[in-house]
Chain A
Amino acid sequence: MRARVVLGTLAVLVGLVATAGVVSVSLPPSFVPLVGLAAVVIALQAVRDLSGPSDAPILPEPERRHVATVPGDAFDDLLTSASLYGRVDGSSDRLAIRDRLETVAIDVLTRYDGDTPEEARTRLAEGTWTDDPTAAAFFSSTVEADVSFLDRFRFSATSDSQFRREAAHAVGALARHVEGGR
């Protein structure tokens, strides 16, 4: 820092003396554009430093009202992240969602359809518990959901996925079971 200040002061003094015509400093013609370039580069560097993380204290936000937790939002987030194409933890998240939905589905079928847990598991595996083939395909390896060419294209192009769609249909079918009381 000190060296830079000394250098700067010296340069200004020499400049002033040279302007007054006391001494003549002969510089190559390329020196002036070089100085200009250096100034621009240092300016860009300073802008980059300024846009970095700020050490300014965090200000309070009095308008921010506390918001309540909405039951189910955590599941929605999990479903979204599990459906993201190529995510590292995606498969374990999908497994967790499948387990949770299966527990709920067995509970629903035993309570509302009068199945034993074994029967419920069989019906889920066979896909006979609902009329909705997309919902049935979620728990079953034998049932294939109808996927149109357009959907296939959409699933490959966006974060929407077949898994997400089947899970949504499965939850919908379970909700209808509960609402219908059957």
Chain B
Amino acid sequence: MNPITHRTGQRERMTAAALALAGIGVLTGQAGLLLASVVAVALAAHGRAAVFPDPSLTVGREVSTTTPDREETVTVTVTVTNEGESTLPDLRFIDGVPDTLTVADGSPRHATALRAGESTTFSYDVTAERGHHTFDPLYVVARDSSGSAAHHSDVAVATELECVPPLPTPAALPLRPTAAGIVGETATPEGGSGVAFHAIREYRRGDPLNRIDWNRAARTGTLSTVEFQRERSATVVVLLDAREEGYVASEETDRTTLERSIEVAGAVYEGRRQVGDRVGVAALSPRDCWLAPGTGAGHRARVRRLLATHEALAPLPNDDPFFGTLKTARLRRQLPSDAQVVFCTPLVDDFALRTARRIDAGGNPVTVVSPDPTVGGTVGQRLANVERSLRCSALREAGIPVVDWGEESFQATVANAVRRWSA
């Protein structure tokens, strides 16, 4: 920001006080009041003579850790030094705490006077949240000794915090059965292409050359084909609803449903990874977010990082417009044809319902996991709850399973849902 100078109105206040005192003094014949007005006149004259201060400050900001855990308290210490040659009689600071962090203790505001070369230090605590947080510049208001001329400016100090929470406890979310049978569990009794040996059978025309057992052919003179255990690992894409409608909560200060969806994504990823599936992550958001399904430690690290710090999943909603139809179309092109989709959405609007149906109808079986943000008791909140229940039943009617996540832990919710489905 460019520095701004402005008059605070201190001089006008003093002038008004002087006139009032003098006027009342004259009207009532009290010489004391008239004399008292002289003080106000002197202060007004001091204000009239005020020049705008032009502070020359250096600012240092230190944090107790730059890579905190979630909910960890981080102490921020700000040191300001007056590098100019004159005393700054009235300085006020407001530190640029990132919007996404909450001040837990102390205050990011400070007021003091600094002689030339003198320093001041103030500190406060913030609670760390998931994501990448950049501090804003320190806001400085410098006033002259009369308090009537103020100079507003800011001093940039690069400070960043990054909180990448570990992936949560796995949740054994079952996938949808497909035409080829239940997918996901790797061991199947059928032979085919794969890695683990299954059986040897007679050569049939069209069998791939690399599966012919040449040793056996050399020994016996007849061609035979090696069959491996057919791999049935599933491909899963966890889709997060990170539109503005994804940033809802049952109370204004609660965790948003996006945070809960991210927990779902982590738990589902861990659960499916353990049974050998390939898992990817995508988001419905104004910003593009796509991590193709994969396996391995490197992929796991990428998932963890993406869930913590991707700009599409920022802790605050993005103001850019969201073009739903275009985004859904692009997502459907990106989805591998055999991929199942686990869609995490609070289901607070019809777009989420339509998207789930559209993806499902396009051949990628969808399972919806929905953190419930409609538990409040006002008329509007109860109506939102009714509308959400209707969306859940519409999805179930279309054959799309819905895991409705309320108060208990996600893992327990999944376990209950599985028990209900298998009953």
CB distance from A98 to the nearest CB of B (A): 13
Q: Which residues of B contact A69 (CB under 8 A)?
A: 244, 247-249
- Provide the bound-state CA to CA distance between A35 and B29, in Å: 12
CB distance from B181 to the nearest CB of A (A): 32
Q: Encode contact with A along B238-250: 1 for CB under 8 Å, 0 otherwise.
A: 0000001001111
Which of B8, B23, B108, B250 has most A Cβ within 10 Å?
B23
Number of residue pairs A-B, CB distance < 8 angstroms = 161
Cβ-defined contact, B22 with A50, below 8 A: no
The answer, among A40, A50, A60, for a CB contact under 8 Å with B23, is: A40
- Provide the bound-state CA to CA distance between A109 and B255, in Å: 33
The answer, among B16, B95, B252, B388, for a CB contact under 8 Å with A70, is: B252
- A65-B253, A104-B386 known; A49 and B108 CB under 8 Å? no
Does B378 sit at the interface, judged by CB under 8 A? yes
CB distance from B418 to the nearest CB of A (A): 21
Cβ-defined contact, A57 with B6, below 8 A: yes
- Provide the bound-state CA to CA distance between A41 and B103, in Å: 47
Q: Which residues of B contact A37 (CB under 8 A)?
A: 23, 27
Q: Which residues of A contact B225 (CB under 8 A)?
A: none
Does B256 sit at the interface, judged by CB under 8 A? yes
Cβ-defined contact, A172 with B382, below 8 A: yes
- A71-B346, A74-B380 known; A39 and B386 CB under 8 Å? no
Does A22 sit at the interface, judged by CB under 8 A? no
The answer, among A39, A44, A76, for a CB contact under 8 Å with B378, is: A76
Cβ-defined contact, A62 with B108, below 8 A: yes
Query: Would you call the interface of chain A mostly helix, strand, loop, or mixed?
Result: helix
Q: Which residues of A contact B393 (CB under 8 A)?
A: 111
Q: Which residue of A lies closest to B34 (CB)?
A: A36
The answer, among B13, B94, B373, B390, for a CB contact under 8 Å with A71, is: B373
Q: Which residues of B contact A47 (CB under 8 A)?
A: 16
CB interface residues, B 252-304, toward A, < 8 Å: 252-256
Q: Which residues of A contact B379 (CB under 8 A)?
A: 72, 75-76, 79, 167-168, 171-172
Q: Which residue of B lies closest to A169 (CB)?
A: B379
CB interface residues, A 20-52, toward B, < 8 Å: 32-33, 35-44, 46-47, 49-50
Cβ-defined contact, A46 with B19, below 8 A: yes
Does A131 sit at the interface, judged by CB under 8 A? no
How many interface residues does A have (CB within 8 Å)? 50
Q: Which residues of B contact A40 (CB under 8 A)?
A: 19-20, 23-24, 27
- Provide the bound-state CA to CA distance between A70 and B141, in Å: 36
Q: Which residues of B contact A75 (CB under 8 A)?
A: 379-380, 383-384
CB distance from B421 to the nearest CB of A (A): 17
Q: Which residues of A contact B386 (CB under 8 A)?
A: 104, 108, 171, 174-175, 178
Cβ-defined contact, A39 with B381, below 8 A: no
- Provide the bound-state CA to CA distance between A39 and B15, in Å: 10
Q: Which residues of B contact A50 (CB under 8 A)?
A: 9, 12-13, 16
Does A73 sit at the interface, judged by CB under 8 A? yes
Does B218 sit at the interface, judged by CB under 8 A? no
Cβ-defined contact, B97 with A38, below 8 A: no
Q: Which residue of A lies closest to B95 (CB)?
A: A62
Does A146 sit at the interface, judged by CB under 8 A? no
- Provide the bound-state CA to CA distance between A151 and B9, in Å: 52
Which of A32, A77, A171 has most B Cβ within 10 Å?
A171
The answer, among A35, A39, A111, A171, for a CB contact under 8 Å with B382, is: A171
Q: Encode contact with B along A143-175: 1 for CB under 8 Å, 0 otherwise.
A: 000000000000000000000000110011011
Q: Which 8 A-B pairs have CB atoms at the shortest separation, nearest pair first?
A: A39-B23, A36-B26, A72-B380, A75-B380, A40-B23, A72-B384, A76-B380, A68-B249
Q: Could you list 27 A-B pairs, sorted by A, with CB under 8 Å?
A: A36-B22, A36-B24, A37-B23, A37-B27, A39-B22, A40-B23, A40-B27, A43-B23, A55-B6, A57-B4, A62-B94, A62-B108, A66-B100, A68-B249, A69-B244, A70-B373, A71-B384, A72-B383, A72-B385, A76-B380, A79-B379, A104-B387, A111-B393, A111-B394, A167-B379, A171-B382, A175-B385
